Amino acid sequence: MSVSRLSLALFALLGTAPIAAQAPTPDTSVAAAQRFLDAAERELAIKSVAVNRAGWVGENFITHDTELLNAEAQADFAAALKRLVDGARRFDGAALPPEVKRRFLLLKLQLAAPAPPDSSQAAELARLAAGLDADYGRGTYCKPAPGGKPACRNLDDLERVLADSRNPDSLLDAWVGWQTIGVPMRDRYTRFMALANAGARAMGFADAGAMWRAGYDMPPDSFVAVVDKLWLDVRPLYLQLHAYVRRRLVARYGTRLVPPTGMLPVQLTGNMWGQDWSNIADIAIPAAAGSASAVRGVDLTAILKARHVTPHDMVRMGERFYASLGFDSLPATFWERSLFVRPKDRDVVCHASAWYIDDPTDLRIKMCIEPTEDAFRTIHHELGHDFYFRAYKDQPFLYQGGADDGFHEAIGDAIALSVTPRYLVQIGLLDAEPPPAGDTLQLLRLALDHVAFLPFGITIDKWRWEVFAGKVAPGDYTRRWWELRGSYGGVMPPLPRGPTDFDPGAKYHVPGNVPYMRYFLAQVLEFQFYRSLCRVAGHTGPLYRCSFYGSKEAGQRLAAMLALGASRPWPDALETLTGQREMDATAFLDYFQPLMVWLQRQNRGAPVGW
């Protein structure tokens, strides 16, 4: 469905006329509120299809025209949403049942960047959003080449350097090179934030950060307290891992590059942002006596490459996991319309994502799949979004979402935790489970992903909340970014960063305006979900060896929670699956408990912290 400039103009005009002016004595009864919400949901459901299609095309065919089409679709949706939110204000203070009040709140939370009241500013916000997203997708680092045209590398190329190279100069060059894509974004991002704040204030929130926090079924300050408690619960495990990895990096690179009592240089962690250290497992996992398989664990990447498993095959394996739990297979359109491989003829946003375009039959994923363990797990994760989409398809439009955004991320992550040696044996990728001798080091390998991520997961939105609240000036964006990265995670940049740098722009979720606290919460919730599903499946033995693949009982429990969507507050959904009503880090700590003991032993007498 195309959207003309005329229709955009008409909606913009509609957005300037408050609905209340049409009704001098507005009806604020429960019946009137329900009629209003039903009509709003019908309109937004239709307009969301145009947004989804334009967004898909905008990320898969990055051109000037697709940027404009994406921006126009977002502006159209935002203008309609603004008009509906303005109209909903007549029900502020009305005596309404809790479920109706919840639908009004969810109406306000439809956009991560709400449109400001002025229609021209709303259109500007949409253009900025589309442009920042496209800038990230086409980002490259080009270096002059002697006697020839510049050699340019995209994010995939640079990430491979950080993952595979152990040459400090190459690592530094790749890291510094990618940060350059953020520099041109800073001024536009500053304007984007100002417009998003204007939109949030028009909806009754202090700023856009407060609006994001309002989506967690508790007062914003209480939510911050919950997040901080979860972090304090898991921090001791992170500190032990950090101290251990630091010693291994010192042994590899020396004290000139790695301070023995200080922070980790980000470019040495194997990941562009230092959020996942699994690529330096060869440095972190020590040589030890015994067979290579016992020490190193299962090398799934090597298995996938040796067996020539294609991207399509990997997605089929992920689909079969969900089917084994009792879920229906994915529709034919999924296989026809998804993107599995980076195209050679155009720029795309390769950041993995799941899509629900227009109806239960049009589910997709978009990612540039390589035959690696990380991609294999990511496929299981992204499919979790799609199966969640389909499970709540019969809910009203405003309830078609996760119980909170952390739930949406945690579902697929909990499935990915089931990618254990036992599961690999079940699907024929492995002949037999490895002996227990290598379990601790296999946990270390997983901790380099899950535990290392925790401070990064909490830092991104801690930074954005401060920026939204006006506590950080544009010239201090990068300084404050690294202050938080350092205080929470003990990670530092390899070179001094200046006021013209904009390192946050080099992380997709910042220019893409994707709230990030969901990923921190998901790290906690996924283990909580996983432990419950393992118990339902009758697993005995160490938690980390569980796979609930093939358990219809676990599938039924999971399906019951997924079907709720956002129709109930998240404690209700959590209780449906786990029997608990609070987010709880004990499952996370239970999973890694043998590793904690091992790390404490390894770090005995060594400095911990920075």
Is 416 marked active-site?
no
Is there a catalytic annotation at residue 519? yes
**Dihedral angle computed from the Cα positions of residues 344, 348, 352 and 354, in that order, rounded to the nearest 10 degrees:** -110
Q: Which uninterrupted H or E stretch holds 148?
A: strand 148-154
Q: Say if residues 549 and 423 touch (Cβ distance below 8 Å).
A: yes
380 is catalytic: no
The type of residue at 531 is R
Active site residue 352: yes
For residue 447, which of 371, 544, 321 has the smallest C-alpha distance?
544
Q: Which of 67, 319, 382, 526 is an active site residue?
A: 382
Catalytic residue among 41, 59, 67, 409: 409
Q: Which of 448, 453, 369 is nearest to 409 (CA)?
A: 453
Q: 549-557: long-range contacts (C-beta < 8 A, 24 or more apart)?
A: 549/321, 549/324, 549/325, 549/418, 549/422, 549/423, 549/426, 549/427, 550/324, 550/325, 550/426, 551/324, 551/325, 552/325, 552/326, 554/325, 555/324, 555/325, 555/326, 555/327, 556/326, 557/532, 557/533
Which uninterrupted H or E stretch holds 237? helix 220-253
253 is catalytic: no
| Measured CA angle at 334 (ends 359, 408), to 5 deg | 65
Q: Is 351 labeled as catalytic in the residue annotation?
A: yes
Candidates 54, 113, 136, 385; catalytic one: 385
Catalytic residue among 94, 112, 323, 351: 351
Q: Which is catalytic among the residues 509, 553, 563, 575?
A: 509
Out of 352, 469, 559, 563, pick the active-site residue: 352
Catalytic site residue from 399, 519, 530, 544: 519
* Identity of the amino acid at 25: T
Helix axes 552-564, 570-578, angle to 10 degrees: 170
Q: What is the dihedral of CA 547, 548, 550, 553, to 10 degrees?
A: 170
Q: For residues 117 and 398, what is the distance between their CA atoms, to the nearest angstrom?
A: 22
Return the H-helix or E-strand segment holding 439: helix 439-468
The residues assigned a catalytic role are 351-352, 381-382, 385, 409, 509, 519
